[in-house]
Amino acid sequence: MTNPCWIDRSLLDEISRAAVDSARRRRNHNFHSHDDAICHRLLNAVEPDSYIPPHRHLDASKDEAMIILRGRLGVVFFDVEGNIASTAVLQPGGETVAVNIPHGVFHSVLGLEEGVVFFEAKAGPYRPLSAEEKAPWAPAEDAPDAAAYYRRLRRLFA
């Protein structure tokens, strides 16, 4: 039998520190045991300067749910041309505390302050995004224009 894992302040602090130290300025803490697990449950720590390119999951089993645990998380939905369809701020105790993201919908999330951590659940197995799942109108994470695009998204929450 596996011991339970408490999601407590200490664990949130630990993954937040790991995100700060990461080149990508984010870190996940998986509760599922391997990438081929049928159910993925994880914590994501995202710092304010971490750019997560807009993407979608085309597999009909890949809806994902996010519940904010600490900080403020900006969520952006896009139409297929890259226009902003809707936005929300997830914040513990706030007006919106979670989001369900249907498969096929382009989306991105942004840490709006230091120490943001959210719980995420979605179907496995993990597979890298295919070309069709990456937004063709948004720069890749390492592209020269990624920082400018990220700043544009960030202004949605100013």
> 122 - beta bridge partners?
40, 64
* The pTM of the whole model exceeds 0.85: yes
Asked if residue 1 has pLDDT above 60, the reply is no
DSSP state of 14: H
Residue 77 in tokens: 């939905």
At 8-60, the pLDDT tens digits run 999 999 999 999 999 999 999 999 999 999 999 999 999 999 999 999 999 99
The structural domains of the chain, ordered by start, are 9-126+141-155 (2.60.120.10)
DSSP state of 22: S
